[in-house]
Amino acid sequence: MEHVAPELFNGLVLGAFYAIVAIGLSLIMNLTGTINMAHGSFMTLAGYFAFALIARGTNFWFALLVAPLLAVLVAIIVERTMIRPLYGRDPVYSLLLTFGLSLIAEEVFHIVWGANTLPFAPPAALGGTVALGFMNFPTYRLFIVAVLLLVFGLLALFLYRTRFGLRLRAAVQDSEMIAALGTNTQVLYTINFGLGILLAGIAGVLAVGLLGLNPTTGNTLLMPAFVTVIIGGMGSLYGCLVGGVLIGLATSLMTLYVPAASEVVMYILMAIVLTIRPRGLFGEEGLFG
């Protein structure tokens, strides 16, 4: 049993990570029906931007703020020029488009930054460990949890306490009516897409402090995020949070007892949830409960 406490903690960190990526996916999916297969590429892109910024002498904190915003800039261009024409069509169109984009992105990363893993270390202040009593836990992982909780709080405030958030939620329920009432839904879509990518970008920069930075870094995290959305339920912010933590815990605990099954456990979890409750744990008709 001495191993279980650290595993639970590891699982929570991992889960928070999956959740924030899943929320970004979910935002984009709910409003426009776009299944963004390029989400992982935007994470990687933000990682490379952060790497490039730090290589040019800026510090980690500046890169953590600015790199996701640069990724959002790219995302807005992509949304306006390529994804927008596909709104209103079958989701397969945007799925294929974004899948293609992710392949192209991987090759571009390959050409610009090379196939090898680049060294990326979090700043020295986050380098050590913190004694938690039952174990020494890496400071950087605690920092990740703190940032993700902050981001989650700000996002909830934004969606539930601002006029824009209200419009966004209304648009999910009936975008035609919102448009008829005088809201520019095109702008709404763009901002929403940017918001989803902002979350991906923050997760991306945080991830490369933990993993190596190479053209496939983001894509390795994409599949758990999709599973998170499905388990948590389409359209539910809290569902993503619960789903992410569930997967994180299940993976970590499985690693302790049956490492070979640690990869597959999330799919088993998904199958169980889909069988018992096909719309996911918190999935409902509208967005965000």
Binding region for another protein (CB under 8 A)? 2-3, 6-7, 10, 13-14, 106, 110, 114-121, 127-129, 135-141, 210-214, 216, 220-221, 251-252, 255-256, 259-260, 262-263
Beta carbon nearer to another protein, 137 or 288 = 137
Q: Which among 67, 82, 103, 84 has a CA at the least distance from the CA of 197?
A: 67
Which residue lies nearer to another protein by CB, 42 or 109? 109
Nearer to another protein, 58 or 262 (CB): 262
In the chain the beta strands, taken as DSSP E runs, fall at 129-131, 136-138
Bridge partners, 40 (sequence order): none
Name the residue nearer to another protein (CB basis): 76 or 126: 126
Which whole-number Å values give the CA distances from 201 to 43, 71, 198, in the listed order? 5, 6, 5
Rounded-to-5 percentages of helix, strand, coil across the chain:
75, 5, 25
Looking at residue 18, its amino acid is Y
Give the number of other Cβ atoms within 10 Å of residue 184's Cβ.
11
Residue whose token pair is 């539930």: 160
**Considering the complex, what minimum distance in angstroms separates the CB of residue 125 from another protein?**
13
Distances (CA, A) of 48 to 11, 118, 207: 26, 9, 11
Smallest gap from Cβ 206 to another protein, in A, equals 13
Nearer to another protein, 107 or 174 (CB): 107
Closest distance of CB 34 from another protein, Å: 26
CB under 8 Å to 4, separation ≥6 — which residues?
A: 253, 256
Q: Residue 86 is which amino acid?
A: L
* Residue placing its CB nearer to another protein in the complex, 185 or 219: 219
Phi first, then psi: give them for residue 275, nearest 5 degrees.
-70, -45
